[in-house]
A and B are shown apart, each in its own frame.
Chain A
Amino acid sequence: MEAMLRLRLALGFLLLAHLLLLAGSSSHPSQDLQIINAERRIDLTSHIVRVYLTLKVENTGTSQASEILLAFPPTQVDHLALVKAAVVVGKRKKKSYSPLDVKPTEVPEAPNETKYFSVSLINPLNAGESVSLEVLYILTHSLEPFPSEISQSESQLVYYHDSAIMLSPYSVKKQMTFIKTPSTKVESFTRVEPTERGNTELKYGPYEDHHPYSFSPIIIHFENNNPFAVVEELTREVEISHWGSIQVTEKYKLAHGGAQHKGVFSRVDYQSKPSISGVSSFKHLLARLPPRVHSVYYRDGIGNISSSHLRTDSRKSELEIQPRYPLFGGWKATFIIGYGLPLQDFLFESPDGKRYLNFTFGCPLLDTVVDKLTIKVVLPEGSKGPSAMVLFWWNST
């Protein structure tokens, strides 16, 4: 055959934790900063834990500070999927957020293997000044089902471990933590006074004047019947065609990551009492595909799966898929979603004649965790010198 013109560029990377493997610079936490006010909102309503952190940081020292450190206990860092920070500019109605650069960093003599992320400020913080930061971080696989095996009629209870007092390398003057649970059913929670329990909300704090690295572990045991949809492996193949189309094939290995299903599966209960039977199981997923998607298919190793619906409009396409059977804890399913996209939406030409493909690493399935993601880009015949630009650590093979 002629020279193999089809070049394959495969980017494989792990979304979780590996952000830390290649750490950037190392720095000492400045003792001159202190947090005046910290408010933490932990959203436990799905199996993905979202934490919104509002920090007001003041420079009490004499020198300028250009970065602020965020500290995480090692147990959380392993499950950290994303850290984003933004600085609040303006006040009240003119409030706007400008995103900041966040990268993992290492601090020598960190107590108890605490891991850090450093947030680089746009404008260094002068002595005496203060700044408001908004931080969002997302934890996956952080809810531990307990009991770890449940039968069809039971609902799923999970543990969430955290600290009532925010871990920080700086002293915190005042802080509060709000934890939102999916339902009012909370089996137990650690009390660190003052602690209040609202309807679906737990309130820890306000706590005042805590030294750096203060820690006060809490455990919350609560009901969470949201689908624990975990994509154990996702392989996406993006094939760029000469004929004005991009063909995407996504191979999913889906599992229910919650409490293991134990004993019988009774269809009669599942059908007749949907409110109390198999409440933690799920039977459909929603995939948000790019707009102007065409030739969508949904199949698996033994043929087409007929239970899917596609809704398209000008801004997005929604594909509702049902696996062949409902997924209970520990059950697995594999399937393939494929679709075509117009080339002009994703391929751009630069003045020097190079062409760029701008494509997402994200998983189109809503509310799912992807453990392992591989993206293969199949370039058209005759392509030369491929290179990839990725905003995070990656491994090209």
Chain B
Amino acid sequence: MAGKAEAANGGGVKLAAMKPDLLPSNTPFFFRSLKLKTKQQELLIRVVVLGLVYILAFITRLFSVLRYESMIHEFDPYFNYRTTLYLTEKGFYEFWNWFDSESWYPLGRIIGGTLYPGLMVTAAIIYWALHFLRFAVHIREVCVLTAPFFASNTTLVAYFFGKELWDSGAGLVAAALIAICPGYISRSVAGSYDNEGVAIFALLLTFYLFVKAVNTGSLAWALASAFGYFYMVSAWGGYVFIINLIPLYVLVLLITGRYSMRLYVAYNCMYVLGMLLAMQIRFVGFQHVQSGEHMAAMGVFFLMQVFYFLDWVKYLLDDPKLFHAFLRVTVTCAIGVGAVALGVGTASGYISPWTGRFYSLLDPTYAKDHIPIIASVSEHQPTAWSSFMFDFHILLFLFPAGLYFCFKRLSDATIFIVMYGLTSMYFAGVMVRLILVATPALCLISAIAVSATIKNLMHLVRAKTKVVQSVTGKGTSAKASSKASLDQSLPFQRNGAIALLLGAFYLLSRYAIHCTWVTSEAYSSPSIVLAARGAYGNRVIFDDYREAYFWLRKNTPPDAKIMSWWDYGYQITAMGNRTVIVDNNTWNNTHIATVGRAMSSYEDEAYEIMRSLDVDYVLVVFGGVTGYSSDDINKFLWMVRIGGGVFPVIKEPDYLVNGEYRVDKGAAPKMLNCLMYKLSYYRFGELTTEYGKPPGYDRARGVEIGNKDVKLEYLEEAFTTSNWIVRIYKVKPPNNRW
């Protein structure tokens, strides 16, 4: 609100700067009768542009709904959807105290204490609000459209943030850039109902409010940023980024001698209140005072107090010599006490050490060596250059330019955005999924570059116009006046400026085209429904996942336990409504390793494991018929690695031939007879998948399989979907002993 009110009064620099000269002489009569003043016009344009950007951000994310249908995408969103459904049906307290016995059989999972409830509560509130207004929408539609809605809201925050950092022009550009940036769209298309969808909004909002608080020194803004932080904590584990970036930023300000009362107020209020609020989230609990990842914030908090204290002492003591002595003593004491406290805390186990995920961020090779389960997730891989280009496009080039402008006009706010940009770019390089966190920073910094450049160019172009206009106003011949004005300036300066402007617009339009293309081609697939082009260019839909899940839901006993690799756990519980052994909440490595071990053992050994886990059905995903490459055979080495990490009987070299992973005749014997191989290729040898190829030709790997005569002793085929993508086997009851 305050931002808007300000926009109405102040600002008005860029777009309408030429108007004062034009208005009296050139505008027709009816324009004048509307009585719009320059500032009003400028405001109108700004509001219209922002409104259009708001709508654009929403509709560009609807490709997936138009191409496919209004459905939840991928893996984690299915868990979020299931919990939201539970929340709206059973109410908040039931949700908070939910013990889910349908996952992690036989352990179960305490849902209320192991999730970030922000997303579900947000969707439920939207749902209840709509129902209060008598819009009888289904909760699924609310969930599907939550991410686009929040993306739209993010554009507004980006505008205000840009305005705070630079000017309202930069804000507008930032809003437009972030509205269509693929890095952000990848996680916020309609149906991508994941924590990140609201978390990026919360992240940017917290940063904006904090920067505003630092700029104004106002307690109110600091309070607002504490609440923004609370929302972020409730929504996503990525809040750790905020609680480390802000202290780092404060530290940098302290070091560069930018300590001020504004900073003191903003940080202390934000930290103390934010910490207390964050403790209300059960999953986070006392981590703010107990976990190593949050200690930086606390250290900076105490440092601030020391600074304040020193300031006060300096004010009391007029003698610089005395003060310096005091300073030395105090700083030594403070650092000493801090180090001792940290050491004692860590040694006594009160402060927990850094988690594996945090380590793997600082050291990209850590996960590969120590935690295969983190390394096995594709979105945790280090980012390739191509995906930077894919997700950022021209922002990648505008980013350094923006940094230049920021350094040229250094302020508390620009220091923040520079730090945010640099740190998040580093993290984006470490993990693919963290491109998302870097996107707002890149958009803002690039917006500064674009806005500043265009503004400079426009000044050049307009400087001429002004002269021309004023001269024509006087009534002299246009020709003579333009000649005169050209003589006054550098040669071709105006043409150069126009050419550069055109170039900038060309780049920006390429960006828009690229973003739209990426959104429609790459990021709008739900990955539950697969689409391919048929032989005649028609669209072929592979709906095998839902076919299998719905079959499970309707044709298996309600208490059946399904064993599958953890990727499909959430989907089976949400769509199949059946109990799973492991799911995407990879909290128990041993349990997952047990499943990995079962999949990589011989059938009889696997049967023992499955009996001990009460498994009724085994589900595998197989792409050999359709050529779908992200199937279980391709994920199999990770199962071996994760299984072998806990159970040393599973050894990765047993499944490889000369370090090579293969499924054809030359494959390792253990590979050809392990459970996963058997279940994937059971009776596949009888099938001709491609014309001109021998039967049993695996299209996903492009080889003829090595073991065509797969016999199953302890399992039987229960269901295979129409394109063989999902295969379900029933575990037979034990034979009678006599």
Contacts and interface: CB of A to CB of B under 8 A. Distances in A.
Interface stretch (A18-26, A49-57, A299-307, A344-352): A299-307
B550 A333 contact: yes
Contacts of B551: 324-325, 331
A303 B546 contact: yes
Contacts, number: 63
A334 interface: yes
Interface stretch (B261-269, B333-341, B366-374, B714-722): B714-722
Contacts of B17: none
Interface string B385-414: 000000000000000000000000000000
B550 A324 contact: yes
A389 interface: no
B554 A334 contact: yes
Chain A's interface size range is 20 to 34
Given A306-B541, A331-B555, A325 B719 contact: yes
Q: Which of B529, B546, B575, B686 has the most CB of A within 10 A?
A: B546
A324 B541 CA distance: 13
B567 to A, nearest CB: 18
B716 A268 contact: no
Q: Which of A266, A304, A324 has the most CB of B within 10 A?
A: A324
A187 to B, nearest CB: 29
Interface residues of B, number: 26
B416 interface: no
A332 B554 contact: yes
Interface of A: 263-268, 271-272, 300-307, 324-325, 330-334
Given A306-B543, A331-B554, 10 more contacts: A264-B716, A266-B717, A267-B719, A268-B683, A302-B549, A302-B550, A303-B71, A324-B543, A332-B555, A333-B554
A219 B162 CA distance: 85
Contacts of A334: 554
B555 A267 contact: no
B657 to A, nearest CB: 28
B687 interface: yes
A296 B529 CA distance: 21
A124 B307 CA distance: 114
B69 interface: yes
Contacts of B686: 268, 272
Contact of A325 (B547, B684, B687, B724): B547
Contact of B547 (A271, A301, A324, A332): A324
A179 to B, nearest CB: 34
A305 B716 CA distance: 28
A331 B550 CA distance: 11
Nearest to A255: B554
Contacts of A266: 683, 717, 720
A324 to B, nearest CB: 4
Interface string B195-225: 0000000000000000000000000000000
B717 A325 contact: no
B69 to A, nearest CB: 4
B550 A265 contact: no
20 contacts: A263-B716, A264-B717, A265-B720, A266-B720, A267-B719, A267-B722, A272-B686, A302-B550, A303-B69, A303-B71, A324-B546, A324-B551, A325-B722, A331-B551, A331-B554, A331-B555, A332-B554, A332-B555, A333-B550, A333-B554
Contacts of B555: 330-332
Nearest to B547: A324
A268 B69 contact: no
Interface string B58-70: 0000000000010
A306 B528 CA distance: 13
B550 A325 contact: yes
Nearest to B542: A306
Nearest to B78: A302
A304 B543 CA distance: 10
A345 B546 CA distance: 37
Interface in B44-81: 69, 71
B719 A265 contact: yes
Contacts of A265: 717-720
Contacts of B543: 305-307, 324
A334 B547 CA distance: 12
Interface in B682-738: 683-684, 686-687, 716-722, 724
Contacts of A330: 555
Nearest to B134: A1
Contacts of A305: 543
Contact of A267 (B541, B546, B724): B724
B71 A304 contact: yes
Contact of A264 (B541, B550, B718, B721): B718
A325 B721 contact: yes
A306 B550 CA distance: 14
Contacts of A307: 543
Interface string B520-533: 00000000010000
A324 B549 CA distance: 10
Contacts of A268: 683-684, 686-687, 720
Nearest to A332: B554
Nearest to B69: A304
A305 to B, nearest CB: 8
Contacts of B718: 264-265
B717 to A, nearest CB: 5
Contacts of B71: 303-304
Contacts of B717: 264-267
A269 B440 CA distance: 54
Contacts of A264: 716-718
B554 A302 contact: no
A251 B433 CA distance: 41
A267 B723 CA distance: 9
B550 A267 contact: no
Contacts of B550: 300-302, 324-325, 333
Contacts of B687: 268, 271-272
A158 to B, nearest CB: 22
A266 B541 CA distance: 22
Contacts of A271: 687
Contacts of A303: 69, 71, 546
A131 B719 CA distance: 58
Contacts of B554: 331-334
Contacts of A331: 551, 554-555
A263 B555 CA distance: 13
A137 B718 CA distance: 40
A304 B144 CA distance: 14
Nearest to A263: B716
Nearest to A302: B575
A265 B547 CA distance: 14
B71 to A, nearest CB: 5
A302 B547 CA distance: 10
Contacts of B547: 324-325
A224 B546 CA distance: 31
A360 to B, nearest CB: 26
A391 to B, nearest CB: 33
Nearest to B687: A268
A334 B553 CA distance: 10
A301 B71 CA distance: 11
Closest CB pairs A-B (n = 9): A267-B720, A324-B547, A304-B69, A332-B554, A302-B575, A264-B717, A268-B683, A303-B71, A264-B716
A16 B290 CA distance: 68
A332 B69 CA distance: 24
A332 B683 CA distance: 26
Contacts of A300: 550
Contacts of A301: 550, 553
Interface string B411-430: 00000000000000000000
A346 B696 CA distance: 56
Interface string B551-582: 10111000000000000000000010000000
Contacts of A272: 686-687
Q: Taking each of B541, B555, B718, which has the highest tally of chain A beta carbons within 10 Å of its own beta carbon?
A: B555
